[in-house]
Chains A and B, each alone.
Chain A
Amino acid sequence: MNGKLLICLSLLLPTPVLAQGFAGLGTEAEGFAPVTAPAEFVFPRDHGAHPGHRIEWWYLTAALEGADGRDYGVQWTLFRQASRPPSDATGWDSGQVWMGHAGLTTPEQHFYAERFARGDVGQAGVIAAPFEAWIDDWAMTGAATAGDALADITVTAQGDEFSYALRATTDLAPVPQGDGGFSVKSESEQASYYYSQPFYSVSGVLTVEGVEVPVTGTGWLDREWSSQPLAEDQAGWDWFSLHLEDGARVMAFSLRDTDGGAFVSGTWITAAGEATPLSGEDILLTPRHVSDVAGRRVPTAWRVEIPSRGLSVDTEPVNAQSWMGTIFPYWEGPIRLSGSHAGRGYLEMTGY
């Protein structure tokens, strides 16, 4: 990706990157649809796009294992951003900008690719049912004939040196995050609509530098949309998705303030899919090890503690250099858990 596009993309956001929150997520949002409680999701409608809101994503991570026990990780993300408050303009001028990110992590290497599209011209988009989200030749396609539209999906993407084709299935319904899907992001009430499908069983084939690797594992899809999810003094976040071996799932995030404080929140999800919100007092996130990644200091190993649930695990990255050197760069990669619970997971860290 060239430098001019960098300027280009950052310009689609009304104010400079990083000055006010990561990727401009903390800026004012006049003219866009507000985020209010309660969420009241309706599926499959809410699997589709919400163009009245400024930002939205379809975010799949999968912690995978090869036949030989080697760890792999895969990320597939489609971001939607409205560069202008909604209007009746269509085609090229609809104001919608689409950004696709694909990542593939092995213990030694990390690959990533990104794609851009704009407008309402068919190059990128999301259809709620039958579900399809795509940008160029990357796609997340629903194949479910019954139940939730996202219960059975195939996911494909390719970069210069890698590609993958995965199938993710589950019997469980999507899980609302926060207060029934209304997820508060700061003390001053910034919030987003947020639900997840954390129960995917994943299988498929990775192609790494021309070599095909069959893999299996677990996957987690995040759906989130908002018009201003971060407060202006929030600089980035650390986000954990934990796939515990007993079938339970944990989501925890910490939104870091520019002055050193943090807003911490999370959800405990039982193996049956029952979600319980966790507050900042329930969760302890402690960096254990800081690595040099792409010229930055990034905490790649953590201790995650949720005393009320008897959870105390240390996370180890499969590859500490899981750096997404995209226009908005961040760390995103699979992790291994040890301690009170065994399991796998995914870690995302922005704003470093």
Chain B
Amino acid sequence: MRVLAVLGALVSHWRRQPVELVTLLVGLMVATALWSGVQALNAEAKTSYARAASVLAGDRLSSVTAPGGARIDLADFAALRRAGWDVSPILEGDIRMGTGGLRVIGIEPLTLPAEAETYQVGAGADRLQAFLEPAGLGLVSEATRLRLEGAEGLPPLATSADLPPDTMIVDIGLAERLLDAPDVISRLVIAQVPGPLPDGLAGRLEVRGPQTSGDLERLTDSFHLNLTAFGFLSFVVGLFIVYAAIGLAFEQRKPMLRTLRAIGVSARLLTAVMLAELAALALIAGLAGVTVGYAIAASLLPDVAASLRGLYGARVPGTLSLAPSWWAAGLGMSLVGALAAGGASLWRAWRLPLLATAQPQAWLGAQRRALRWQGAASILLALGALAAFVAGGGLAAGFALMGSVLIAAALALPGVLAAILAFGERRARGPLTVWAWADGRQQLSGLSLALMALLIALSVNVGVGTMVDSFRRTFIGWLDQRLASEVYLTGRDAAEAEALVAWLDARPDVTARLPIWSAQTRLGGWPAEVYGFQDHPTYRDNWPMLAVLPDGWDRVAAGEAALVSEQLARRADLAPGDALDIPTPEGVWRVTVAGIYSDYGNPAGQAMVGIDALTDRWPDVERLRFALRTDPANAQSLIGDLRAEFALEADQVIDQSAIKDFSRRIFERTFTVTIALNALTLTVAGIALFTSLLTLSNARIAQLAPLWAMGVPRRRLAFIEMGRTLMLAAFTALLALPLGLLVAWVLTAVINVEAFGWRLPIFVFPVQWAILVGLALLTAFTAALWPVIRLGRATPVTLLRSFGNER
């Protein structure tokens, strides 16, 4: 009963202060929502990668492949089986189907290891029979089935829940026909490798162990780490709100707590009831938070999915399907966050002295101690950041560097602001002005957390904004260099490509026809593409080279050297003049690195070699794509003629501007999520500032009442309050600019290089800064408005009461 009575007394506070209750709940909800929203995005993507990796148990089975990504002769399958290797053949490839591609995976059910039978062919007897018949059966996910409905040239479709999007499993015999790849195999899977490869096959084939984390997971790792970092940042900033709200409630309920203690409620019971109250609030806010988080994730997912597909070719479904553990984790984060934010208040309730004496000057000593402590912590963190940078390596060190820089700066902020205020106080004339400065310092303790949140949000905004805009400017310039040809053309098959070539060669308006043929291989352990190109001024004049040997282009044209992308160069630690081993179906090919070019946004490594060198080493390379040079004014009529002559599909012949548009769209979508999270972070910081000011406005009555009693009008006091808040916000925003540039530098020079393998030049955008400072002031103004209005309207009774409640 006693518990209920205490709880009733405590809860009555929220009835009287509904705004505070809402603030607390909103704070917790926002923190939980942003965190769990980002986690939902990551979880969805990771599930897709795992599903892709575990299709046919790729995470548990070893595979036999041909070097350089070449296809394997069917005879080699038989040879391995006859040597006692229980291999099962898989033939895979992409076909064009409706709007977008379709990955076709052909399997052979009789030899397929039991581990790989996740495709649910056996879901029904009829289904399996249909699968094996010549007409066949395609297994796809439900979403893919809907997309492919009515498409021609496909077998009847059935659904299998475990499959990634845009992937179809068929019998290998059918796959041969769909992919037009008779008597070849992409790879062989095997549950247990019996030993070294038999003689005669060892040179041509190689064995790879199970791939627990697919290439996709490795490549997209940094993308998700970026998302996680932003989610966590939002969570921490959200906790500032919660901290302020709980602190406010504690301050306001202190007299009540004393009374409860005085009438015999033990400190233990009181703390326990407050803990229960906090937990209940956290659960309510947490539930709302995960719901909002789900909504955020659902609205951002299409963009995330689109950029993952554009950047990495990762197939992530556009709809969320979340495990119950995700909801539990969201609620857990809300609880942990509430405890972290409310811990200090609970501790104080536990240790609450029954009688407290007034300590009018005590705050000053406390503040000095706090500032010293924060200053020391800030210096330590700054040193840590320096160490992380110097010793650094890896993406984690990059984020540690950024985190340390941000927190060090945030911890240093109150000290810097205090120094500015002290300076102002010394220079001030007139008692009211001196008081205004001095009072600002007093206020600082209560506001510093909110200002720290504002500082972090602003500087991250500056940093991310600078990075995104720098990238946009660089990227667009780079696209112009990279896409120098006027028209890009792809044949449906070899026969059509040959016909296209013959037709083009008879056109005088086509000044050059440059092949764009590529083969897949692995360079330095990473997936990579080797492109063949024809020596032509199009490349020599335009290609975005970062470094090149003096005779580099000639040596590449002669087939003895290669150009490598910046990503590959960084990953494999290559410089012009170094040797590079390229695995090819014809054996390992050693070339000299003749130059390095920038290749933004490409997660895979890339090397460029002379076209003849490519076709010599990869005789089976697909010869379908061409870049055409023509008078730009003539491009449209050329495209029209090509379409009319060959009945080409829309994406078979594309002009330069369409590709640029497409690339830009992918780029914009990649950063949509970052920008959205960025805006949300700033909003959260604004709410934090508002809550803190609200907290202070009650406590500050005691400070302001004496001035009112001495004759300063309430209106004037309210103006001073507003002016001071705006000044603090302005100083914080100004301090955020250099910090933001530092963040931008860390993002582009450290994190970007680690995460994506390329470095960006930084451009500064002063207009953007001015907008941000204005935004910060607006945020502060909005946040301060309600507390200041409340102050301006405080009744004389309220002000007088503060003398009675001397604390």
Contacts and interface: CB of A to CB of B under 8 A. Distances in A.
A97 interface: yes
B110 interface: yes
Given A11-B125, A92-B108, A137 B75 contact: no
B173 A137 contact: no
A12 interface: yes
A137 B81 contact: yes
B128 A2 contact: no
Interface in B69-85: 74-75, 77-79, 81-84
A8 B82 contact: no
Interface stretch (B114-122, B322-330, B374-382): B114-122
A95 to B, nearest CB: 8
Given A2-B114, A5-B110, A92-B173, A123 B81 contact: yes
A2 B109 CA distance: 11
Interface stretch (A114-122, A237-245, A266-274): A114-122
A97 B129 CA distance: 14
A117 B110 contact: yes
20 contacts: A3-B122, A4-B114, A4-B122, A4-B128, A8-B109, A8-B121, A8-B132, A11-B128, A84-B133, A91-B183, A92-B173, A117-B81, A118-B110, A121-B78, A122-B75, A122-B78, A123-B77, A136-B82, A136-B86, A137-B82
Given A2-B114, A116-B111, A136-B82, 16 more contacts: A5-B109, A7-B122, A8-B121, A83-B132, A84-B134, A97-B110, A117-B81, A117-B110, A118-B108, A121-B74, A122-B79, A123-B78, A123-B111, A136-B81, A136-B84, A137-B82
B121 to A, nearest CB: 7
Interface of A: 2-5, 7-8, 11-12, 83-84, 89, 91-93, 97, 116-119, 121-123, 134, 136-137, 139, 158
Interface in B153-197: 171-173, 176, 182-183
Contacts of A2: 114, 117
A16 to B, nearest CB: 9
Contacts of B75: 122
A134 B82 contact: yes
B181 to A, nearest CB: 11
Contacts of B74: 91, 121-122
A122 B77 contact: yes
Contacts of B172: 92
Contacts of B183: 91
A8 B176 contact: no
B182 A116 contact: no
Given A11-B129, A117-B111, A137-B81, A92 B121 contact: no
A7 B128 contact: yes
A83 B133 CA distance: 9
Contacts of B129: 11
Contacts of B84: 136-137, 158
**10 closest pairs, A vs B, by CB?**
A122-B78, A92-B173, A4-B122, A137-B84, A93-B173, A2-B114, A116-B110, A11-B129, A123-B81, A136-B81
Given A7-B125, A119-B173, A137-B83, A91 B114 contact: no
A237 to B, nearest CB: 26
Contact of B134 (A93, A97, A116, A136): A93
Interface string B768-792: 0000000000000000000000000
A286 to B, nearest CB: 40
A83 B84 CA distance: 26
Contacts of A123: 77-78, 81-82, 111
A137 B195 CA distance: 15
Nearest to A4: B122
Main secondary structure of the interface of B (DSSP, over half): helix
Contacts of B77: 121-123
Interface string B120-151: 01100100110011100000000000000000
A65 to B, nearest CB: 29
A11 B131 CA distance: 11
Nearest to A136: B81
Interface in B41-79: 74-75, 77-79
A91 B122 contact: no
A92 B129 CA distance: 15
Contacts of B82: 122-123, 134, 136-137, 139
B127 to A, nearest CB: 10
A116 B125 CA distance: 19
A134 B122 CA distance: 28
Given A119-B173, A137-B83, A8 B78 contact: no
Contact of A92 (B78, B117, B122, B171): B171
A344 to B, nearest CB: 31
B122 A8 contact: yes
Nearest to B124: A7
Contacts of A97: 110
A2 B113 CA distance: 9
A89 B134 contact: yes
Contacts of A11: 125, 128-129, 132
Nearest to A2: B114
B121 A4 contact: yes
A133 to B, nearest CB: 12
A285 B648 CA distance: 75
A158 B84 CA distance: 9
Most A CB contacts (10 A, CB to CB) among B77, B84, B111 go to B111
A333 to B, nearest CB: 26
Nearest to A97: B110
Contacts of A136: 81-82, 84, 86
Most A CB contacts (10 A, CB to CB) among B81, B114, B121 go to B81
Nearest to B84: A137
B658 to A, nearest CB: 40
A163 B77 CA distance: 23
A174 B79 CA distance: 31
A207 to B, nearest CB: 14
B394 to A, nearest CB: 43
Nearest to A95: B134
Nearest to A93: B173
A136 B83 CA distance: 7
Contacts of B133: 84
A11 B133 CA distance: 10
Interface string B81-121: 11110100000000000000000000011110010010001
A118 B77 CA distance: 13
B524 to A, nearest CB: 35
Contacts of B110: 5, 8, 97, 116-118
A11 B126 CA distance: 8
A102 B78 CA distance: 20
B81 A91 contact: no
Given A91-B173, A93-B173, A8 B108 contact: no
A123 B171 CA distance: 17
A121 B173 CA distance: 11
A12 B125 CA distance: 11
Nearest to A99: B110
A8 B128 contact: yes
A11 B77 CA distance: 25
A123 B111 CA distance: 10
Contacts of A93: 134, 173
Nearest to A121: B74
A89 B77 CA distance: 20
A11 B109 CA distance: 12
Nearest to B183: A91
B112 to A, nearest CB: 9
Given A7-B125, A7-B128, A11-B129, A91 B182 contact: yes
A321 to B, nearest CB: 26
Nearest to A135: B81
Given A11-B129, A118-B110, A121-B77, A4 B117 contact: yes
Contacts of A5: 109-110
Nearest to B130: A11
Nearest to B79: A122
A3 B122 CA distance: 9
